[in-house]
Amino acid sequence: MEGITLVVSPLISLMKDQVGTLNQAGIHAAYFNSSLTVRQYKMALQLAKEGRYKIIYVAPERLLLEEFLEFARGVKISMVTVDEAHCVSQWGQDFRPSYLKIADFIQALNERPVVSAFTATATSEVKEDIIAALNLHKPQMITTGFDRKNLFYKVSAEKDKFEEVMTYLTEHPTESGIIYCLTRKTVEEVCEKLKMRGISATRYHAGLSDAERQKNQDDFLYDITPIMVATNAFGMGIDKSNVRFVIHYNMPKNIESYYQEAGRAGRDGEEANCILLYASQDVVMNQFFIEKSMYSETENEMFTDEEMELIKERDRDRLKQMTFYCTTNECLRDFVLRYFGEYTTNYCGKCSNCLSEFENIDVTEIAQGIVECVKTSNQRFGMTVIVDTLHGSSAAKLKQNRMAENPCFGRLAAVPVYRLRQVMNFLNRYGYIFVTNDEYPIVKLTEHSKEVYEDTPIMMKAAKEQDKKPKTTKKESKKRASLPDLSDMDFALFEELRKLRMEIAKKEKVPPYIVFSDKSLKDMAARKPKNLQEFLEVNGVGENKCKKYGEAFLKVTQNIKPKSL
């Protein structure tokens, strides 16, 4: 295009990362945000006026500032691009009121440029809202697909979450990854316990100082500390290519957030793991956050009481879908894709459910007990009370609410609590019962509840009990951690290429993946290019990087000891 492309971006870290990547690739780019001093801002603005930059990143809060608006009116702007476009939608999972200024900015320009918007997590409802909020004119909509085929999805409900994390890290000692926790307190606890076990980990949450957050983020990006334990405050704009796993220590509040956070794994196209450690307490905690509201007092003033209640209602429904994901026995990939409007075969072969052995079991008797218990309690209680009643729990609350006197008390005492919960979630998902979206969810009957008494049995897909897989030895896992298809010789070469990459990264003060991704180094190790022409054929190598780094890396692939950088 002839003029400048403005990219509206929500986070400073995202801008820095992408501008750094562009400049490394030989494309002149800059950003305007609060991290610049007044002098830096004016200098960058002057260079922009002189046509130095083809791409400029800007925070939405700066768009309507007089000085920036004057600049925008005085230059040729070919396109305004909205990144993380779901932030403009009040029904998106990460709504930012400042994004509403974008349409006013475009309107204030002398000439309307091309307007484009991009997001990885938008339902059909959010798409429509983006079109309306940005006032797009007959937009061409392109969906590239939500499926990331290199990601393996797993949901686990093991009681000891930390030991499960330790097992994974022990079996994958060379990998870099993110562990997401729901609260700051959990981040602190998990990070401290990892360090005590000898794991190199750091932390990130809103309670830390700006300086510490920046240092910890840089340590992670530069592979100084390969494990990041964080709340969801970390991640947007982090394009670290060699993240080999994302572990959710707690269940996120909705599928959009989960998909976006899990999608930070495997950006280089290599195999990566997305593991969610589920516990019913996570649901309760997320419900609490919804009722407390996610917006500040200033942002709350933007909504009427009715709108706030509608937002909460939709958030409760999203939480319910997230809970269904965690408890389903169907294909996990298919579940997520269907949520975003894509339909597949319900078998991917690359998720924990597809690789587990299942059997159809008759749960008619359990279903009848659940429905009967809900009915005889006059539809007044939540899932926990119903399960405790059917199991015959000695909990004091059952005496207090007189459910210990319910005719269904202890009726299913022989059925494990986890199975009762599985069946309740199954009945809820398929409409035999309904769990309300209130602050305190209540189990209700539906028009289909009576079907549990019909002649056709209620069949549920359930995992067969499996023997624990033998653990990979530490020596084996260390050798093959993230590069299972490299020969021993290629693996040794890969390690040498990584060392050279780290030297260059330290010298240029950029994260290693900005120089080359693991995928590029892996391809280099396999191809062993002999000259610059062959080097250009390596995945991720362009003219600029070939000219800049080619000679140094060729010496390694040809086993010529390079001179000191």
Q: β-pairing, 77-82 with 4-8?
A: parallel
Q: How far is CA 249 from the centre of its chain?
A: 12
**Which band of pLDDT confidence, cut at 50, 70 and 90, is reported for residue 553?**
very high
Q: Give dist(CA 431, CA 320) in Å, integer.
A: 13
Range of lowest pLDDT (2-11, 128-137, 240-249, 309-318): 309-318
Question: What pLDDT does residue 222 have?
Answer: 86
212 close to 238: Cβ distance less than 8 angstroms: no
Residues 6+ apart with CB under 8 A from 50: none
Measure CA of the first residue to CA of the last residue in the chain; give whole Å: 38
Q: What is the pLDDT of residue 310?
A: 81
C-alpha dist (Å) from residue 511 to 115, 233, 354, 377, 543? 31, 20, 36, 60, 20
Query: Which of 103, 100, 49 shows the shortest CA–CA distance to 72?
Result: 49
Q: What is the pLDDT of residues 490-518, one digit of tens each?
A: 778 888 898 899 889 888 878 788 888 88
Closest CA to 119 of 154, 148, 85: 85
Query: CA–CA separation, 105 vs 505, rounded Å?
Result: 38
Structure tokens at 389: 């009643």
Identify the residue with better confidence: 482 or 37.
Answer: 37
CATH class of 151-339: alpha beta
User: Rounded to an integer, what distance in angstroms lies between the CA atom of residue 484 and that of residue 171?
Assistant: 13
Question: What pLDDT shows up at residue 477?
Answer: 42
Confidence of residue 295 (pLDDT cuts 50, 70, 90): low
Chain centroid to Cα 180, Å, comes to 9
Neighbour tally for 249: CB within 10 Å: 23
Q: What is the pLDDT of residues 35-60, one digit of tens each?
A: 888 899 889 889 998 889 999 999 99
What is the model's pLDDT at position 491?
A: 75
Beta bridge partners of 276: 155, 248
- pLDDT tens, residue by residue, 198-254: 999 999 998 999 899 989 988 998 889 999 999 988 876 677 888 999 999 999 999
Mean pLDDT of 10-36: 85
pLDDT, tens only, 399-452? 999 999 999 999 999 999 989 988 998 999 889 999 887 767 899 999 999 999
| CATH topology agreement for domains 151-339 and 483-557 | no
Lowest mean pLDDT of 98-112, 159-173, 475-489, 536-550, name the range. 475-489
DSSP 317-381: HHHHHHHHHHH--S-HHHHHHHHTT----S--SSBTTTTS-EEEEE-HHHHHHHHHHHHHTTT--
Query: Residue 268: pLDDT band by 50, 70, 90 thresholds?
Result: confident
Extents of the domains making up the chain = 4-133, 151-339, 358-463, 483-557
Pick the CATH number of 4-133 from 3.40.640.10, 2.30.40.10, 3.90.79.10, 3.40.50.300: 3.40.50.300
Quick: pLDDT tens for 330-376. Answer: 899 999 998 888 888 788 889 998 888 778 899 999 999 999 999 99
The H-or-E segment that residue 305 falls in is helix 305-327
- Assigned architecture for domain 483-557: Orthogonal Bundle (1.10)
- The top-level CATH class assigned to 358-463 is mainly alpha
Q: How far apart are CA 363 and CA 430, in angstroms?
A: 14
The b/e string for 303-315 (b: 16+ C-beta within 10 A; e otherwise) is: beeeeeeebbebb
The sign of the CA dihedral 512, 518, 519, 521 is: positive
Q: What pLDDT is recorded for position 476?
A: 41
Which pTM value belongs to this model?
0.70
